[in-house]
Structure 1
Amino acid sequence: MRKSSLAGVSIAAVILAAISITRSGAEPVLRGAEAFGDWQRDKPGTVRLITPQDLPRPGATASSSNSSRVVQRPASAVPQVPAGFKIELFASGLSGPRIIRTAPNGDIFVAETGPGRIRILRSADGATKPATNEVYATGLSRPFGIAFFPSGDNPQWLYVANTDSVVRFAYRNGDLKAPGKPEAVARLPRGSNHFTRDIVFTPDDKRMLVSVGSAGNAGEGLGQPPQGVEAWSRDHALGAAWGIETDRAAVLAFDPDGKNQKLFATGIRNCVGLAIQPGSGTPWCSTNERDGRGDNLVPDYVTRVREGAFYGWPWYYIGANEDPAHAGARPDLKDKVTVPDVLLQAHSASLGLTFYTGSSFPPEYRGDAFAAEHGSWNRSKRTGYKVIRIRLKDGVPTGEYEDFVTGFVIGDNEIWGRPVGVTVARDGALLVSEDGNGTIWRVSRE
């Protein structure tokens, strides 16, 4: 038997070498293979840093089909949060609550995607339960994203991103019922996989950004776009040689009235959650990457989205890593791929995204982002099923992320909660929706 190159070095020492301290008194940061882990190692305060250099080769492990079984939440099951915080059940009995957004007046808008409706929850600041629970609108087509327009304290419109369109309702602060049928604003690609569409407006209110996921996993069987990413981006919008993926795997830009559609960024397999970073006004995406490449490929990610940037799908991932299904197909794109900012455990299914703008959490949280991880199916060891904190320093992502809310997994095969949406309530609490048992949870300071 060949001796290990680590002869004389204890396993414990190797593990400790993979863990470093980033700041005095802070929790350890799991790096490299240690950062991949699984649900059994998840706990509030655990910090991970995954870099492009940490990625295994495609097929290093087999691709697994390991779907979770959703069970009724046990009476004793309560999510876990870091020391100094508490978590309470805010609302229950909802039908698959997905994206949640806070209106300027403090109302919480909830997209119940399956039933095709938008619900409003209203509570006094500091209250742990909503005093009002009303259905705002029905008859929508798998609604997901919600946005208020224009920005500021007095919006005039409520926009909803359906799976096949963007619609809007005339809106005034405090409305509990839609005033009538929605106005159609823009048509969106529909059908196939990845049906969610999120929506935000740029801070100057001049552009509406809408995320549209790919129709497939990794561009199987598609026609090849023209040579050069610039030509591809231009002709992609026209549908040239691209079939069912036209205007998909992208963030689209429109005028607020739905006119002048353009591609804002491309090669993003499934940007489920969109958010605008306060201060900088930069759009961010919470992204599901491709499956079928092994337990630890391809990392999901949360990233700033640069206008005109190309993020690799389907030919490349996380920079110049070529997808084996498209080997040699597009060498001209290899050096044009933008590397995402924060790499997450592969198959976490990163969904909703928000920035912390409140004042009730400790000062170091202000400006950081929170993302909801819906949980894996394509991994032998379950991961995701939690809410993570994306750490920023002076508004710039460090690449680190921290487990913030955990405890939705019961065992290797059973879970009770699948986080989807995150929003900051007017009183500074963080609200988290999960569509496994149809609940919303409220995280606040103790």
Structure 2
Amino acid sequence: MRVENWLYNIFPGILLLLNLSCTSKDETSNNQIKLPAGFKISVYAENIPNARSMELSESGILFVSTRTAGNVYALIDNDKNFKVDEVITIASGLDMPNGVALKDGDLYVAEVSRVIKFPQIETNLRNSPSFTIVRDDFPTARSHGWKFIKFGPDGKLYIPVGAPCNICLSEDPRFASIMRMNANGSELEIYSHGVRNTVGFDWHPITKDLWFTDNGRDMLGDNIPPDELNRAPEIGLHFGYPFLHGRNILDPEFGSQGDTSSYSKPVQELGPHVAALGMEFYTGNMFPEDYRNQIFIAEHGSWNRSKKIGYRISLVRLNGNEAISYEPFAEGWLQGESVSGRPVDVEQMPDGSLLISDDFANAIYRITYER
């Protein structure tokens, strides 16, 4: 395990201080980020420690979670010039509050073992807002314990519970799953099984099917297994973990125990160990038409590969429910083996531009297109 990841797990505050002292927006020079012709990248917000998941309110307030910092922020662009000029810490000291979601004016935050809610958050931003506990009986295991959350078209809150290990078969069926519940915490159920660790999902804007990224296991070498982009159109599907990785890689320890014919295979195999996290279907009008309903994926970057990979935004193009291409869209945060940024999440703005969070450079970028 690299020192960086050991620090993340054991001494998150140390790594946060290292990032703050050693990294700035200037080190992530926009000139080094390669984009398709017509696209531009700029800094939307800086000095946002450990910026992770994002949720944009209808009024334009961007709520940003953290993993190691334990904070949740509200970012405000008061003069509407697409650059944040006010940052409010609305919560601190939380346990890996990686997930944020909005519903009916309430802000939901996912910690390791509970989901909390800040009622009518926009009216209480500056008043040290209090929260209520929606549900607090999720597993306490910290390995893959940080959670991405999002409300689906059915009005339910979807919550993953990652595997408590690199590779294992847990007796608790909640591990390695995507769960869902009502906004009040009732009727919790498992929606998808065999999901090692998803930290990003979205629903197709037309079919309303759930699509999600999934991180492949470690310690099988540099080039296997792949990360995955999966589609879950109905409840009850199993996506292979810990028995099957990608479309056809049997696990050396558990592969003989499962029925591979019953597993849902990935729509697209992603790069090995790219750490695919946030993803979003593009539905805006700013980008060219051929980007409509296609998937942008934040690849956070490998941590234990002999040669680094990822550290970019990738694009998966679809024809119906089939992937027809998988290609880099924004790259340059990785130069050789030198890292200047690690994309985490993707959030579309009302004007059709895309926001990208970066928990390494403590920044949020905005990608635009001009014809």
Q: Give the shorter-chain TM-score range.
A: 0.7 to 0.9
SS in 2 for 1:97: coil
Residue equivalent to 2:239: 311
Task: Describe the shift of the 1:314–1:135 C-alpha distance in structure 2 as closer, same or farther (beyond 3 A).
Answer: same
Q: Cα distance, 1:445 vs. partner?
A: 1.2
Unmatched tracts of structure 1, length 5 or more:
1-63, 150-154, 224-241
Gaps of at least 5 residues in structure 2 are: 6-17
Q: 1:393 aligns with which of 304, 313, 319?
A: 319
Judge conservation of contact 2:226–2:273 (CA < 8 Å) in 1.
yes
Q: Return 137-146 or 124-133, whichever deviates more.
A: 124-133
Q: Which residue of 2 aligns with 1:424?
A: 348
Q: Given residue 267 of structure 1, which amino acid in structure 2 is its aligned partner? A: G
Greater length-normalized contact order (CA 8 Å, ≥ 6 residues apart):
1
Q: Give the percent of matched residue pairs that are identical in Structure 1 and Structure 2.
A: 31
Corresponding residue to 2:112 among 139, 163, 172: 163
Query: Which residue matches 2:289?
Result: 363
Kept after mapping to 2: 8 A contact 1:101/1:108: yes
The letter for the 2-side match of 1:209 is Y
| RMSD after superposition | 2.4
Q: Post-superposition shift, 1:247?
A: 0.9
Q: Which of the residues 107, 121, 132 maps onto 1:183?
A: 132
Are residues 1:210 and 2:159 paired? yes
CA distance in 1: counterparts of 2:181 and 2:363, whole angstroms: 33
**Does 115-124 or 349-358 show the bigger shift?**
115-124
Give the partner amino acid of 2:165. G
TM-aligned CA deviation for residue 289 of structure 1: 0.9
Deviations along 1:72-108, one digit per CA (max 9) or x if unpaired, are: 3555722222110111111111111001121122221
**CA, structure 1 residues 322+97, in 2 after alignment: closer, same or farther (shift >3 Å)?**
same
| DSSP-derived class of the 1:310 partner | coil
Shift of 1:403: 0.8
CA contact (8 A) 1:276 1:283 kept: yes
Whether the aligned pair in 2 keeps the contact of 1:192 and 1:216 (CA below 8 Å) is: no
Residues 399 and 196 of structure 1: CA distance in aligned 2, closer, same or farther (over 3 Å): farther
2:204–2:210 Cα contact (<8 Å) kept: yes
Which amino acid counterpart does residue 210 of structure 2 have in structure 1? P
CA distance in 1 between partners of 2:177 and 2:315 (Å): 24
C-alpha spacing 1:66/1:302, structure 2 compared with 1 (3 Å):
farther
Q: Distance in 1 between matches of 2:2 and 2:122?
A: 46
- Partner in structure 2 of residue 72 of structure 1: 23
Counterpart amino acid of 2:40?
Answer: K
Query: Out of 213, 216, 223, which is 1:296 matched to?
Result: 223
Show the counterpart of 2:189.
Answer: 262
Aligned-partner Cα distance in 2 for 1:375–1:249: 21
Say whether the 8 Å CA contact 1:369–1:390 is kept in structure 2: yes
What TM-score does the superposition give when structure 1 sets the normalisation length?
0.73
Give the C-alpha shift of residue 246 in structure 1. Answer: 4.2
Relative to structure 1, the CA distance from residue 264 to residue 359 in structure 2 (aligned partners, 3 Å threshold; closer, same or farther) is same
Supply the distance in 2 between the matched residues of 1:125 and 1:427 (Cα, whole angstroms): 16
Matched, 1:101 2:55: yes
Give the whole-Å Cα distance in 2 for the aligned partners of 1:299 and 1:393.
Answer: 22
Q: Does 1:136 align with 2:90?
A: yes
- Change in CA separation of 1:249 and 1:327 when aligned onto 2, cut-off 3 Å: closer
Quickly say closer, same or farther: Cα 1:430–1:317, change in 2 above 3 A. Answer: same
> Residue by residue, what CA displacement relative to the aligned partner does 1:42-83 show, whole Å, maximum 9, x if unpaired?
xxxxxxxxxxxxxxxxxxxxxx97979976355572222211
Q: Which residue of structure 2 aligns with residue 194 of structure 1?
A: 144
CA distance in 2, matches of 1:184, 1:261: 15
1:425 Cα deviation (Å)?
Answer: 1.5
Structure 2 distance, partners of 1:341, 1:273, is 15
1:96 maps to amino acid = N
1:354 matches 2:280: yes
Q: How many residues align?
A: 351
CA–CA distance in 2 between the matches of 1:399 and 1:265? 25
- 8 Å contact kept, 1:67–1:376: no
In structure 2, do the counterparts of structure 1 residues 284 and 178 end up closer, same or farther at CA, with 3 Å as the change threshold?
A: farther
User: Does the 8 A contact of 1:66 with 1:378 survive in 2?
Assistant: no
1:58 maps to none
Q: 1:67 to 1:115 in 2, by over 3 A?
A: closer
* Closer, same or farther: CA 339–177 of 1 in aligned 2, 3 Å: farther
User: Does the Cα contact within 8 Å between 1:200 and 1:276 map onto a contact in 2?
Assistant: no
Q: What SS is found at the alignment partner of 2:141?
A: coil
Deviates more, 1:365-374 or 1:119-128: 119-128
